[in-house]
Structure 1
Amino acid sequence: MKTFLLNSALLALTLSLSAVGGPTASPALAAEPTPAAPVAVPTVDVDPALWVVKDADTTIYLFGTVHILKPGMGWFDEAVKTAFDKSDRLVLEMVEPGAGEAQQLFAKYGLDQNGKTLSSKMTEDEKALFTKAMEKVGLPAAAFEPFDPWAAAVTMQVMGLQKGGYDVSSGVETQLTAAAKATKKPILGVETMESQLAIFDTLSQETQVKFLVEASKVVDDMNSSMDAMVALWAKPDPDGLARVMNEGLTDPKLYSALLTNRNANWAAWINEQMKKPGTTFMAVGAGHLSGTTSVPKLLTAYGIDAERVAY
């Protein structure tokens, strides 16, 4: 499993908790040092894939995002910027709630409601692996005892990426949201933070522990794996990106919960929106727009063809 398992809710939740010191049960996040002031870096032009579906009076642009990026990637220009400017509204996976609501949701979905410790859910070998992985990203494993396994895995991934130079302020959703607010463009979500977190909360303990263990195993390669996926996104090579992501998501239950089921819901949502006039810029994780169960592929069941925008 690789870092692409981060979705917009998990990233926003983890970073908001880090910024405000987290819930009372999360001293690990509160212990994170204040990041250094950003250093200016040269901008590199990249051209991620953009799709469009349209009929006589409706146009929906589909743009694959990366939720957290390193600074210096110039993607918000050319056809992407033109499509955004033409659109009446921005649609994201979710609209990020305030920090207070995020903390409440974390307490509900990210902490064990029965008081069972994280270490009690793992074997001795798994605990040793997890503890060593946490040390590598600079987090105390003991502070995560109240966490559900999925929440510990996601926190490890986000903090590890930050150590490797990734920055949420450079992420696609952050920049699109700022641009929409500046132009007073409405922002909608096809999901909520609660619905996204509930996906993980409903996974069995066995599946969650497997997620945590696999994340711990690849902690040394986490940033290089993310670099490789970002390069495929930037190139763009959607098919290559799908292959890499599929390699990282081998558990069929996780695959269905995180990709297939949500893609099917979003394809149905797009089909309904095609009945309404207007232009929409829809930005969701790039993994949802690549592969055999992607949103563009599933749209064909509704007689809708998504075309790649050449630029």
Structure 2
Amino acid sequence: RKKHVITANKALISEYGPEIFECAEKNGVSVYFEAAVGGGMPVIKTIREGLVGNNVYSIKTIINGTCNYILSTMTAQGQPFEEVLKEAQAKGYAEADPTLDVGGGDSGHKVTIMASLISGGYIPYDKISIEGITSISSDDISFASELGYTIKLLGVIKKEQNSEQLDVRVHPVMLHSKHIMASVSEAYNAVLLEGDAVGQILLYGKGAGEMPTASAVVSDVIDVARNISASSPIRIPMSYYTSSKAIQVKPIETIVSRYYLRFTVTDKPGVLASITSFLGNEGISIASVMQKEGYSDKSVPVIILTHTASEKGIRTAIESIEKMDYIKDKTQVLRIED
């Protein structure tokens, strides 16, 4: 018999959704996947039904509880990443192999599903830029706090006017500490949607766990039962979620943003002037500079916040700067989201 399908597998829908939805449509059945994104938060239903009268043009989301727990604890307690990860594993917030979570892949799967739903097409998982949180140090957390910011792993989806490309990416960002998403702590998730009719809507709650996931699955079971009862087995068609309607993703090299840059350099005259010269060559304007006390190896951190600049310009400048002999460690780059 032909069966409806209910799944919580975000990787399945993100990577193989086109084949699955095509097969379901041919057989006159539906695939429901509320639990695949956001656990107990009704993210899928909100996008597909509640906001169907809107052009949803922006989503910013904290959608991985493991990463948010780690970053929140690092912020609150000043512990390094490795220690907090072990604590998260001991408490059951992180898997024995946490790569998919801390590497950003789990968030990437969920973000591509949301991006596909608001675009009316299909966003291939392997086309988006994904960065995890393993490079975030307790120093970065501390410097961000001193500057009035909070570091979060954020999924970003943006529609741009007069562009056929969709800006879809996952990476750590600095949010102003007064930003509504900056207060999302522990293992909680949040999805901030913006539509042309409703403005901003925030979904907040537990994104994983036995009962939140069960809540979403039961919701799907009831939806399918109601559809069958009403003789409407495919009430919400997904025929647009197909490889033939793949949406072009905006290359991350072409985005513009403000940036946090942390250089680890030898403490000697002329270093700051050299760094600012390389940045200036790429048209990058500096908003503020902060230099802290040195480390035990006689190197010092230099923190620079930029005005809006191009990702390509930032990468080109850093590539040149890191060839200089005064650079003692890999440069930390974080984008600042408003």
Q: Identify whether the pair has TM-score above 0.5, normalized to the shorter chain.
A: no
- Which range, TM-score by smaller chain? under 0.3
Higher relative contact order (CA 8 A, sep 6+): 1
TM-score, normalised on structure 2? 0.25
In the superposition, the TM-score normalised over structure 1's length comes to 0.27
Question: Comparing both structures, which one devotes a greater share of its residues to strand?
Answer: 2
